[in-house]
Amino acid sequence: MLKHLENNISCTEEVALTETSFNNNIDNNGKKNKSILWSRAFIFLIAVSFITATGFNMVYTVISKYSMDIQNSLAIAGVISGIFSVAALVMRPFAGMMSDIFNKKYLCIAANMVIGFSVVGYSFSSSIPVLFSFRVLHGIAFGVSSTVNIALATRFIPKDRLGEGIGYYGIGQVVASIVGPNIGIYIADKYGFQTLFIVIALLSFIGAALLLCLKYPIEEKKAENVSIRSKLTIDSLIAKEGIVYAIIGGMFSFGNGLVSSFLILLGKERNISNIGIFFSVGAFVVFLLRLFVGRIVDEKGLTITVNISLIVSAVSMALIGVAPTLRLLIVASVLKSIGQGGGQLSLQAESIKRVSPSRVGVATSTFYIGADIGQGLGPIIGGGISQYFNYTVMFVTCSVLLLVSMVVFNVYQRKTRYNVKRETLEFEGGQEGVN
């Protein structure tokens, strides 16, 4: 069906893609040139990412209020909001497998179409069960879309500039997270939820239509020749090479979950007004960070980048725990954004580098699973700590966990370097024996 649509859709200009992922450019003298990153296709994908991410952020901030309008219950509103993340988390391993089996372009198109239809379904939800069903469908489609989108983008990012490319690719999503919530709230307040959902659905459909204009090289195996049942193995669902990196990345999200859930309450307890500035400053710093941190990751390497990021994040969590003023919280916001932005980007890029191009999808989903679990466990564990102790103990505990994660990370790095060195020596010894 999608191929039929692609043949019939009228595009003013077809964006030609040249797959550059995992390739290096060599000149006529045998010297390696710096690989090309800013292709027209890559810029196009950033634009599509911005459009679809804007729609996500528009609905994310108002769905609880919409649920309250249907049935006035905070508990139910929380379930409606949270079930989305649960559905996305459950879907991620299968999304990674699908990404490695099927054509990524068509998967992105299908996911965007389902997202659009599910948001339209919100408009017709006159009861909580109906809204719940569409919310689950939306979460499943988002789990596919968010996983496959990054896997698709990496096909057009040179391996030697992978960190830089992923950093730039995320700029559209960062900008969307800044403007999306405000646009969504404005439309909902001025024109109503029905109009808002139509606008969001249109953004999803526009994203799907734009992807139809991409000429994507079909490097994947054809779906009809692949048995999903035969592919359904642990290795097809989880990238073992990236599990430790997913856990470390999840620790950054653990702290993010604490901040998202408890910072406003902390500000109220300490009589700190205008606490929202914390989030605005953080978003701005992340935006600036995306412009150059990927290049630093590619040039300086994983170990030094992640270690610095973990230390900076640990300091930021401890500072939030003891900060009595907004000024100190703003400093903590800057540190948190630097730590999380640099650390997670580095770990995600390395997770992708450690697998073959045919397993980029499952590597991406594995990393996102760690982030999802960390984001979910943060409020749960933090809530228990704050109930029995206080917010200071809660954030300081997170700081300690980040430092423990640094120890785990360095032990793992030494172990993997030793194994690689040993395998290399064994291989060279075998070659000498043959000669």
pLDDT digits (tens, 9 = 90+) for 50-82: 998 898 888 877 887 888 888 877 678 777 877
Question: Alpha carbon of 239 to those of 156, 160, 203, 263: distances in Å?
Answer: 21, 21, 32, 34
Q: pLDDT tier at 17 (50, 70, 90 boundaries)? A: very low
- In the predicted structure, residue 274 carries a pLDDT above the cut 50: yes
CATH of domain 16-21+38-221: 1.20.1250.20
Averaged pLDDT for residues 418-434: 43
State how far the Cα of 176 lies from the Cα of 81, in Å rounded to an integer. Answer: 19
Query: Among the residues of 31-170, which ranges form H helices?
Result: 40-60, 63-70, 74-101, 104-123, 128-154, 162-169
Predicted TM-score (pTM) above 0.75: no
State how far the Cα of 80 lies from the Cα of 290, in Å rounded to an integer. Answer: 32
What pLDDT sits at residue 16?
47
Query: pLDDT (tens digit, 9 = 90+) per residue, 155-189?
Result: 888 877 777 787 788 888 888 877 888 888 889 88
In the chain, where the domains are located? 16-21+38-221, 238-426
Q: pLDDT tier at 425 (50, 70, 90 boundaries)? A: very low
CATH of domain 238-426: 1.20.1250.20
The candidate with the shortest Cα–Cα distance to 88, out of 380, 375, 378, is: 375
- In the predicted structure, residue 35 carries a pLDDT above the cut 60: yes
The reply to whether 16-21+38-221 and 238-426 are identical in fold is: yes
Mean pLDDT: which of 7-21, 125-139, 141-155, 307-321 is highest? Answer: 307-321
**33 SS3 class:** strand
The residue among 140 and 31 whose pLDDT is bigger is 140
Q: pLDDT tier at 118 (50, 70, 90 boundaries)? A: very high
What pLDDT sits at residue 422?
44
Lowest mean pLDDT among 92-101, 230-239, 265-274, 394-403: 230-239
The candidate with the shortest Cα–Cα distance to 201, out of 91, 122, 131, is: 122
Structure tokens at 284: 């701005």
Q: pLDDT tier at 419 (50, 70, 90 boundaries)? A: low
Lowest mean pLDDT among 8-22, 25-39, 47-61, 232-246: 8-22
